[in-house]
A = this chain, B = another copy of it.
Amino acid sequence: MPNPLIQKLEARDTLLPGEREALERIVVRSRTCRFGEIMVREDEHLNESTLLLQGFAARAKTLRNGKRQIVAVHVTGDFVDLHSFVLKRIDHSIVALTPCRIANVAHRDLEAITENFPHLTRLLWLSTVIDGAIHRAWLAAMGGRSAAGQLAHFICEMFLRLKAIGHTDGNSMVLPFTQPELGDILGLSSVHVNRVLQGLRSDNLIRWQDQSITILDWDGLTRTAEFDPTYLSLQKEPR
């Protein structure tokens, strides 16, 4: 089975000779996580990063009143806390939103990559920077759009990200999130998530059954979302 990280980087730029092998060399041990398991705990000093080989995971901050704010959602192939390589200490915990398979990559090995593979280093850097672009898109969605627009934006984003890794089926995808979890993602109450979801359904934009979402009207959905996919950097470019 191919390393999904390689697939992800190859979508953004062509790997140079040797880079693929270097990546394969550092991804060794892998293990599984149960649903709800906390893979990485806030404020710990880290000497390895986590690569998500399969499943959905989230970066979450918990507030004093018990509210949980999810600040990022990750899918297969994402280097969930690559930023901890330079940060050393992360400001959130990482939790499995489904059962997951993950691999740990030693920071020592990443350091060796920065010493020997400058182009590959730039591509890893790019991964963390795309995470930042997604953060900004979420900020603009939360601050500037209606709740319906925000939810529509999230659906559009997840569809393109899942499509990029071949996890869509026509206009459908599996999004294994409950409405309370969506509330934690969007910063809304689960009641309001339900209301807004009804709206998207009655506008015939999407169908959401169990955990399978079908997009009935992509143009309409992107219009209510004001969705512009460029921030996902889904095209090749020399980096």
Contact = CB atoms under 8 A, between A and B. Distances in A.
A114 B144 CA distance: 37
B118 A115 contact: yes
**Copy number of this protein in the oligomer?**
2
A135 interface: yes
Nearest to A64: B226
Interface residues of A, number: 51
Interface in A1-51: 43
A218 interface: no
Contact of A86 (B68, B88, B122, B142): B122
B135 A136 contact: yes
A140 B63 contact: yes
Contact of A140 (B61, B88, B121): B61
Interface stretch (A154-162, A168-176, A194-202, A229-237): A229-237
